[in-house]
Amino acid sequence: MTVKIDTVMQTRCFGGTQGVYRHDSAATRCGMRFAVYLPPQARQSRVPVLYWLSGLTCTEENFIIKSGAQRKAAEWGIAIITPDTSPRGLNLPGENESYDFGAGAGFYLDATQAPWSGHYNMYTYITDELFSLAAAHFPIDSSRAGIFGHSMGGHGALTIAVKNPGQYHSVSAFAPICSAMRCPWGIKALGGYLGQHQEAWKEYDAATLIESRGWKNSPILIDQGTEDTYLHTQLQPQFLQEVCARAGVELELRMQDGYDHSYYFIASFMDDHLKFHAKYLMSK
């Protein structure tokens, strides 16, 4: 049975349509919102699709307002789907006490610890539920899908792509958390959602996954600002550099002089990332 979705808003944008939608999620057991940009080419045929995963505190709204991605997506004929970063409105104990855990901080994993395990299943939501829902309701070609994201969402994009190479054919990130097991944000999230047995954490650590599983579908493109406040404490791209070198994974890590962690940084290099994904998705 096809899941019902409700239209929150739709507006014309660069000849295509920017929409926001809502549905009742089986994975998170609550209502979820997501955004879809459909380029003008989607009126004639199914188009390749990119999934954007946002960072801490964000919703689906940040990307569609601030990234400037729609212009080039319209030019290249690529749809962009942007989910929320966590379930919302559940009123779980501690859900709204801090910016880096709970609401707005789902970390794109499937929680195993109560009370989070009943709802905080963003990995399954992204890779299974939303992936199927999007293919059923929109003119996208799910056989030509890529994934990218920022910060916590960069961590999500990398871990999800590496674990699902048959589903995502290209991956990139802006200032990703490169090893969640080795940074304060990740240690807090992984411990809270998965418990203190660190073997389980390896399934959601980008550097560990790349070293153990590799990645051959495309190079990995990463942009990182040199003036990013979180560069050395939370993001730590050196871990990714080291494991990619050992695993024979092609990594293009671009250190962008003077840029910080904001959407001004993301917007500055968004066109490059869309061009990168178009190269691999259009050739499928």
Is the pLDDT score of 255 beyond 80? Answer: yes
Mean pLDDT over the full length of the chain: 97
Q: What is the pLDDT of residue 3?
A: 82
pLDDT of residue 260: 98
pLDDT over threshold 70, residue 29 = yes
Strand pairing partners for 82?
A: 35
Catalytic residue among 151, 170, 179, 218: 151
Report pLDDT for 1.
56
Q: What is the mean pLDDT of residues 39-60?
A: 98
* Residue ranges of domains in the chain: 5-281
The model's pLDDT over 257-273, given as tens digits with 9 standing for 90+, comes to 999 999 999 999 999 99
Q: Is the pLDDT of residue 149 over 60?
A: yes
Report the interhelical angle of 206-213 vs 152-163 (nearest 10°): 20
Assign domain 5-281 to its CATH architecture.
3-Layer(aba) Sandwich (3.40)
pLDDT at 284: 63
pLDDT of residue 2: 72
Summarize pLDDT for 165-187 with one digit per residue, the tens.
999 999 999 999 999 999 999 99
Going 53 to 55 to 60 to 64, the CA torsion angle's sign is negative
- Residue 70's pLDDT is what? 98
Of the listed 110, 205, 223, 228, which one is catalytic? Answer: 228
pLDDT at 204: 98
Query: Per the residue annotation, which of 169, 261, 273, 277 is the catalytic one?
Result: 261
Tens-digit pLDDT profile for residues 196-249: 999 999 999 999 999 999 999 999 999 999 999 999 999 999 999 999 999 999
Beta carbons of 270 and 68 less than 8 angstroms apart: yes
Confirm whether 228 is a catalytic residue: yes
Q: Which residues are within 8 A (CB) of 69 and not within 5 positions of it... i.e. 6 or more apart?
A: 37, 52, 63, 80, 270, 274
Per-residue pLDDT at 157 exceeds 90? yes
State the average pLDDT over residues 267-284.
94
- pLDDT tens profile 92-122: 999 999 999 999 999 999 999 999 999 999 9
Please indicate whether residue 151 is annotated as part of the active site: yes
Residue 283: is its pLDDT beyond 80?
no
Confirm whether pTM is higher than 0.95.
yes
C-alpha pair distances (Å), 195 with each of 45, 105, 169, 209: 45, 16, 31, 19
Tell me what pLDDT residue 125 has.
Answer: 98
Is 143 labeled as catalytic in the residue annotation? no
Distance CA 201, CA 197 (A): 7
